[in-house]
Amino acid sequence: MSEGTNAIRKLVVVTTPRRDSLAGIAGFLGFGRSWRQRDPRIVLLIAMPSQTMESVRNEILAMLQPREFMGEMAPEADGCGPIFKFAMDCAFRLVPDAGSMLHLPIDIAWGEIHREDVQLSIPKMSAILDLDRPALLLGDYEPLLWKNGGPEPHLTKALIGKYVLEQLSHYGLDANFRRLDLKEARTEFFAANRQMFESAARAGAFAPFDPIPFVALHAWKMGFAVHRVYLGKFYESDANAEAMRVRWQLIRVADQISNAYLGEQHVTSMAEAAAQTEHWKRTVVEGKEKAFDATARIFQKLQNAQEGRAK
């Protein structure tokens, strides 16, 4: 640990469970407590989606120890983007002396350590925050499943991750992602400092689905330092590759990326906007066509995989 300012500021480690579910929470708390024994700065936060059942809320509260918190979204809030924004806001509000927050996905197979498991590398993220002080740190990984005593490809994560990068590439927004050599632009392993969060929140950078690509785009646009660290292999504990779960999300992500493209044009006059309108329209239409074609292919692959497992 460095001797700089960050060494004495708290690091809030956050996870975002599924609504009305206790899955993964005990494992997250166990991991965080073990880490805190080596790094006393660690504060743990469970950021729950809106309308949590009272029985689930009470069970979580009973699990908590000192320097462990639970936050809940307002009932009217919903979606992945808002929950990530809420988790970051909650971290900095509940822990005023926090220097940074670090988000970890709830569906890590906590305690089941396999070869090159991300669980072994998560503390590297705090070391990078200490030494390099990036405003936004993206944790990259290889998505896998652990089935029948061995690793298997995680088809859903792999296909959607590739799709997101293809859409970013179509609009010319992928250069920095590729420069960082990100395998997963949609990562849920990320850390941000307070200044980065406040800037992204003011700009409305938290998209309702897969928000991290758009937060990263904002960081680059505003000149914040963005770093990437490879964590290893993320073995998801409870993967559900049902095709119907992801089809609408794919279309929504494409819509968000096209909006991000239009927002990057920096048009300074109506005349310039009029001159560019047809080009923008053509680019967006082509992007949406690619998105629908890719979505159909991904949907079919996931359906085939699901049918194969059912046989």
Specify whether 188 is located in the same domain as 166.
yes
- pLDDT above 90 covers a percentage of the chain that reads 43
Check whether residue 207 and residue 291 sit in a common domain. Answer: no
Secondary structure (H, E, C), 245-280: HHHHHHHHHHHHHHHHHHHCCCCCCHHHHHHHHHHH
Residues 137 and 212 in one domain: yes
More confident residue, 9 or 95: 95
Q: What's this model's pTM, rounded to 2 decimal places?
A: 0.86
Q: How many domains does the chain have?
A: 2
Question: Could you read off the pLDDT of 255-291 as tens digits, one per residue?
Answer: 888 888 877 766 666 676 677 788 878 888 888 888 8
CATH number, position 205? 3.90.550.10
Is 180 exposed, middle or buried, given 0-12, 13-18 or 19+ CB atoms closer than 10 A?
middle
Q: Kindly state whether residues 47 and 144 are assigned to the same domain.
A: yes
Whether residue 50 contacts residue 72, with contact meaning beta carbons closer than 8 Å, is answered with yes
Looking at the structure, tell me whether residues 159 and 299 fall in a common domain.
no
Tell me if 246 is assigned to some domain: no
- pLDDT: which is higher, 98 or 297: 98
Question: Residue 4: its pLDDT value, please?
Answer: 42
Q: Are 50 and 196 members of one domain?
A: yes
d(CA 225, CA 220): 7
pLDDT tens-digit series, residues 178-187: 999 888 888 9
Residue 181 lies in a domain: yes
> Among 2-6, 65-69, 239-243, 278-282, where is mean pLDDT lowest?
2-6
Please check whether residue 258 lies inside any domain of the structure. yes
For the cut 70, the answer to whether the pLDDT of residue 51 exceeds it is: yes
Q: Would residue 245 count as lying in a domain? A: no
Domain of residue 299 covers 251-310
Name residues whose C-beta falls within 8 Å of residue 181's C-beta, 6 or more positions apart in sequence.
Answer: 140, 228
Residues 6+ apart with CB under 8 A from 252: 208, 209
Of residues 9, 188, 206, the one with CA closest to residue 105: 188
